[in-house]
Amino acid sequence: MRIVFMGTPEFALPTLKTIYEKGYNIVGVVCQPDRAGNRGKVEFSPIKKFALEKNLPLFQFASISKEGEQTIKNLKPDVMITAAFGQILRQNIIDIAPIYNVHASILPKYRGAAPINGAIINGEKETGVTIMKTDIGLDTGDILLIKKLKIGAEETAGELTQRVSNLGAEAMVEALELIKTGKAVLKPQDNAKATHFKTMKKEFGLIDFNKSAKELFNFIRGLNPWPGAFYYLNDKLLKVHKARVIDAKDVVENIPHKFIVKCGKKTFLELLEVQPEGKRKMTGEEFLRGNR
């Protein structure tokens, strides 16, 4: 079975690494073009680094649908796999060979680009991965299999992403075995139950303290590490990396020593780890010592 893999960031790496280690015939790896990182230095994506290390045929297109059609056809794939590739595939690519995508939610919930963030922000207790066959819609394809996992009570988006990416690798290997043996059964999604979570930008992280402490606790961990939650204190940006809900009866006793904020619905949030503009991360107590 000839496989073309498409992916770019760290999330995609466990899937590529696992199918490589399982001995599948990877005839091509496609990732996004190189981009400038810190201080303008060009950085290779995790997928590009792995492909170069293992001497896998590597291709990079600004738009695979516009530039890569003939290249992919020449590879004669039986199956294509996508995991956080970062480009919308047009019909000309979809028609080359069946494409199976690792999506980081239990579809049809949380279609879109930020399913892990959305699940945490909305206070979900469970998420998972879906292996779906790609069609022209946004995460609307038929489902091959789903694997679920529990979300930790204090788990951040970064921590959950790592667990979901590992689960995605496991799920994709299982899916490939079903495809190889002719046992794959596809089920259509129930579009009436579909939910979406919008693509996030940095400004999305602005904290609204009119919301309840529980909502903000989920919001902060759902945006950790990116794009990050923040607000403005005396016109200076203050990032909030970690917080916890504090019981109202404990507030009076703790206020002299803790960074506690009154939120909506008469609830209270303790800011455990913050980062003033241009400075290092510090505990809420450290911050208060210099900002009475």
In this predicted model, what pLDDT tens digit does every residue of 41-100 receive, in sequence order?
A: 889 999 999 999 999 999 999 999 999 999 999 999 999 999 999 999 999 999 999 999
Mean confidence (pLDDT) of the chain: 95
pLDDT reported for residue 217: 98
pLDDT reported for residue 213: 97
**What is the reported pTM?**
0.95
Categorize the per-residue pLDDT at 282 as very low, low, confident or very high, splitting at 50, 70 and 90.
very high
Q: Over the Cα atoms of the chain, what is R_g?
A: 22
The C-alpha atoms of residue 182 and residue 195 are separated, in whole angstroms, by: 31
pLDDT reported for residue 254: 67
pLDDT reported for residue 148: 98
